[in-house]
Structure 1
Amino acid sequence: MDADSDKKHYGQILQEIESTDDYWGPTFRAIYDGDEHRSFMEKLDARIKTHDKDIEKMCNFHYQGFIDAIRELLQVRTQAQKLNEGVVGINKEILSSAAALTAKGEELCKARKTEHNIATAIESLSLCLPVLTTYAKLQKQMAEKRYYPALKTLEMLEHQYLPRVANYRFSQQMRESIPKLRENIKDASMSELKDFLENIRKLSPKIGEVAMKHTTEQLASDLVAVVRKKKRQAPLPPNSFSSDAENFKSISLDTSFDGDDELSAQDMIDFSPVYRCLHIYSVLGLRDTFEDYYRKQRKKQALLVIQPPTNMHESVGEYKNYIHAIVGFFVIEDHILNTGNGLVTRSYLDEVWSTALTSIINALRTHTAYCTDASLMLRIKHLITMFNNTLRNYGYPIGQLLELLAEIREHYNEVLMQRWVQVFREILDDESFLPIEVHSSAEFDEIVNNFPFVDDSLQEKPFPKLFPFSSMVPKVYQQVKEFIYACLKFSDDLNLSQEEVCEMIRKSTNLLLTRTFSGCLSSSFRKPSLGLLQMVQIILDTGYLEQATIYLEEFVANITG
């Protein structure tokens, strides 16, 4: 290899070393593999010397500029220190201001958070306050036992207010308590209804008493109006039949009403519990349940009311209590019919009345059958008549009760006949069956006034005068008239026609004479002390009584209108 090639070869190697910074291994391996390291080292030293010369030349060329730069740098260092001090001062001022600003910013953030929380709280309270107010109102209404408004408030709370606050836990608690509150309202209203039913059961007799009193007053005012219009009066003549006239006049005085003159039957009891309970059960969708319960309870009470006391026939007071309680029951039901919004229907009430009427009639028929006191029977008749009139005014059919009065009238007539048996026996037992002898005009007038007897020849005879009949005739005739008066008393207020009354009295009078008086007279005939002349006189007396029946017919026609 010649010198030029070596120089070129080593030049390339040196360029690779200068151009490569991190990996010289292959270059050095090529040098050692060729056993050229000594030559290479010489070339490398020469190359280093060349670079040192270049550096020296460069330094010599730039030395003055370097010195100037160092001097300028020293001057800048002083200014830089001043600038640094200024920057440090400014930085301190900035840090101080930033700390205050940071504090104000934190306060502002807290204030904004507080403001937001307040706004959120106001919004929440705006939603919750109506709920809480409504709930407080509900609790107050419950405490005041205003259950129907409480139920309305509960419905409003459940459907209108609670959905707005569904995200709050207290609303869930309220919602869970609603079924219990609704059940409490239902139970409380039912409790009020039970108290109401017990109350009306106790007050029924008083209500019936007042209702019958008002009916009596109404009939009396109507009668006065009729009397004034027709300008006539028809009082019964006084008689000696056990003071029956006085008893009859005092019938309406036996009932005392203790200052209830201005009260109607409905004013005496508060019906609001039954109305409230009806509304509450209707809102709860349980109206049918309520109606069924109310009607069953009232039917049970009706069964108790129509059961007569065992000793009812012994006094008129027991009859009053029994009849007043029945009237009170049906007056109350009629009021519920008209004001209860369908709680009581006409068909239901007719059914209850029809069932009760059968028991009432049987009870009255049974107990009046035990009665043997004509005065008591008149008072009972008056009570039943007022009972009929009162219930008829309230729209209840009373046809069967009128038929019952006809049965009682037959029993009354039988009681009268039994009583007149004793009257006739006393007359016949005390009778001597001798013609009546009078010694003065007063005695004569007394006889002819008591018995319709006309005999011109007898009037012309001087005193003492002798009537062709014994004293039995005018006495029996007068007692027959008393019997007719007594029969007529029972026909008062029965709304019978004149023909019906006349027929009834004729029939009763005929039975009195043909059965009662004839039986007593037959007993007198069988007395061993009775002589032939007395028997003849009895036969004559009987003839005169038979002749007087025409006058009795006229008497009946006159007193019946």
Structure 2
Amino acid sequence: MPPRRRPQFTQENIDQQLQQIHLLDPSSSSENLEQLGPVIKQIHSKRQQDVFLRTVQGLIQSKDAEIEKICGDNYQDFISSVSTLFTVKSYTDKMKENIQSLDSSVSQLGRGLVEKKRGLLQSKKTAANLDEAIDTLQACLRVLDVVNRVGEMIKEGKYWGALRSLEDIQNMPPTSLSQTPFFQHLLSSLPSLRAQIKDAVTASMKQWLLEIRNAQSDLILPNPLPLTFLPQLTQEISGFFIVETHVLETTGTFRSARDVEELWDSLVLGVAESITSSLRTENDPEEYLRVKECLTGFIMTLETSPYSVDSLQSFIILLFEKYAKLLEAQFSRRFESIVTQDDHLPMQIDATNEVDTVLDVVFVGNAEKSQIRQMAPPYTLPWSQTFYLCCQDIRGFIQKFYAFVEGVSRHHRNIDEVLSKLLDSLLIEHISEPIGKRLAGTSTLSQIAQIVTNLEYFQAACSELEFSLTNLRSTQRGGTIRLTARTSFETTLSRSLARITGLITSKLDQFFELSEYEWTPPARENAPSMYLYELVNWLTTVVDSLVIKETYKDEAYKGALEYIAGCLMSFLTGRDISMMNENAISNILIDVDFLEDELKRIGRSHLSSVFVELRMTTSIPLSDNVHEYLVPAMRHTSYSAVKHKRLQALLEKLARFGTTQRDLSARELAEKRRKEADAVGRVFPGEGR
């Protein structure tokens, strides 16, 4: 079958179809795409796309030419019309906005006027209510002002005017206020106001009478009060209040107990102030004691009455504190005077009856008192005048102290505490410390020995005083009295013993200045140094002649020997001597042997221990045992007393001496000593000290 021939479209057919498309209704809302479909299909099926496109392009160009022509003829008119149209539109929009703004402003002003009108009406109503309320309040205030004036009149004492004002309130003409609950309440309170006026009148009358009585009580209290007038004054006050008590007990409401008690309190206060004013410049404790006795009798007279005497008892305690201070000041001057004027000599008594008088005064144990009484006259007592006179004044102080306390049965423990503090103050500040001051200026050993003895007795006196005072207070159920002054006396005693040692060592310096040791002798000596004979003779004579306990003598010897050992050790290891040889060391040891022999002779061989360090230190180079010392175990056991710095210094001195010798063996020994000194110097500083 031959193939189908495609239909051919001529140029005319294509133009007709395009013209048909061009003539479509432009106002139609549909796109009319269905009409283009067949045309495009035909063109595609006949493969005439190029022809169709050329035709379409030609149609477009012709239409563009027509459009350009039309636009070219009407362009300026069109532009001006469009511009005019836009101008009119902008004016129209602006006028529309102005109209809307004007409409909203008019609406807002209208609403504001309505609100102002409504507020004005409300304000007129409120103003009317306020006027009415103000009128009512003013009426109430006038009435309240009258009532307030009534209260002020009562306070000012204008009672008649207050009653007249109450009558004016009650007789007010009827008004709108008369029917209010406020006015009715005010009328109901008038009886209570009248009662207040009545009570105020009564209280004023009583106060007037009480002021008259107070004025009378003040008139009988002169200021300042002569203390000689005090007994008569207390008797008059006692009689007055005894009568007042009888009046209170035998009458009804003639006088209230409260008024009488207030009068009593004011009078007691006035008496206390007058006495205080009179005693302000008084320094005599006896005057305070007389005032206390007068007030004690006054209290005992009214103690069974209903009046409180607590304030008087408190005032007596206050007087007691001032009395105690004056008493302390008085006796402190006496104690310091006694200590200052002491001659530091044992107290001498010739007659037996005088011994009994002294022993009854001093605070010494009964056993020692018995030993003293067994002595034959004349008596040489171990203490000096200071101890006896101080004990005498201590007893006088205690007697005067308790003289004020008699009749005051309260606060015994507080009183005991005050007494113990006062005694401690007197013993420490005015006996022990002044003794210490005198000790610093005393250079005579016998006087210092007497000070030591006195301090021992003062120490023992503290215990005896505690025991005596405790027994005295036990009968009145008081507390135990403890004194701390013993510690102060112990401290001063230690200073005294140190002072003895210091004086002895200062004398020993003079002997060592005469020692004249030769530090590089060619040979050893066979006898001790000559100065030691004088030194030992002086030391034993001085220490044994001191009238002190053997223990204190032992301490004096020990202090002197420690000083001697220190001086000898300073010769061996100090910087004053640059070199020495073994012979000089041996000579020092000969002197030490002599001193130890002398200690054995006087029975004090136990004091030889002060030379242990010196002997151990010198034995190491003399025995050539430095290598043993360098062994820690040996150093801690056999040479524990040796201080390595001192041993090093001694070895260096021996080495310096050896370097000055011409002998080869001596120089070799010197080099050995130098190396040993260096080895000892490297020992840990904490060891061997």
Give the TM-score category using the shorter length: 0.3 to 0.5
TM-score of the pair, normalised by structure 2: 0.35
Ranked by relative contact order (alpha carbons within 8 Å, sequence separation 6 or more), the top structure is: 1
TM-score of the pair, normalised by structure 1: 0.42
